[in-house]
Amino acid sequence: MSSIKNILSKFRFVRVLSNDTRIKLVYLLGEVDGQDCILSFEKTQYEDSVIPMLAYSVNNMTDVVENNIYAWCTAIISNTADTRLKVIFPATDVHIAKYEAQQRVMLLESPERYQTITLPYIKSIPEKRTQWVHNILNGTAESDRVIYHDHDPETGFVILPDMKWDGSVETLYWVAISMRSDILSLRSLTDEHIPFLKKLREKCYELTKEKAGLSPSQLRLFIHYQPSYYHFHVHITAVAFSDAPGVVSGQAHLLDTVIDHLELYPDYYQRATIPFVIGERHTLHTDHNWN
């Protein structure tokens, strides 16, 4: 991928995909060298180190209102990085559909529908879509961000910060990615994978305690279905991060519950009907009849 500076210099705005004023996050669609590009801009929280100096860093006050003991305005805080920028380039139609504001629908996926609808969709996805995952696993990208790497081809995994994490303990968001490429999603799991899942869980508990001071009761480990990419991974967030992306019912399946299901029924996820929430413009919804 080209450098961020190079992409920004060539970016030509097309439209706003979404603008969440509550969490101050905007996604833009544009073009770079004739290819689609997505930019996201998110206002960040203040670092603990700069908070004591905020009052001395206020510049360019506008829209000033003063009334008795109250006053407010809009201002620029100098010497503070206040926006997190992310780039997806080149972006695919799947990326655009994922980040564009749209209605969500709940679909019920029976084992039969998985075999006839979802699995063929997964197999149709070009391998290059997950090249970035393999770059992490083989150490050719993001190696400086890796928190832990177990290279065992059967039970190994990489743990690193999710790109959504802002660095604070309260909003901790890591991801653990399996070294195995044959576990596509929740549907692939059987009792064979229980030792791997328990090993991953214990290492997550150990590392979050060591590096963030969080105990198991302060953590939420979960698996998305449908996932954003079909290479098995587990999300690790702080419980305090109550509105973390993707923790909603119809998307997140707690790892503890998944392990319990597999211990009770070895082929649970091959037999179960699984509801999932998805954007109404997603191919799985638009190209198939779920009634």
CA dist., res. 64 & res. 73, Å (int): 4
CA dist., res. 55 & res. 31, Å (int): 40
Scanning the structure block, which residue is given the tokens 């305690």? 209
**Catalytic residue (choose from 193, 233, 235, 253):** 233
State whether residue 181 is helix, strand or coil: coil
CA dist., res. 153 & res. 178, Å (int): 9
Beta bridge partners of 58: 77
Closest C-alpha among 33, 224, 231, 37 to residue 132: 231
Task: Yes or no: say if 172 and 239 are a contact pair by the CB < 8 Å rule.
Answer: no
Identify whether 233 is a catalytic site residue: yes
- CA distances 76 to 60, 66, 80, Å, are 6, 18, 9
Task: Yes or no: say if 16 and 26 are a contact pair by the CB < 8 Å rule.
Answer: yes
Residues marked active site are found at 233
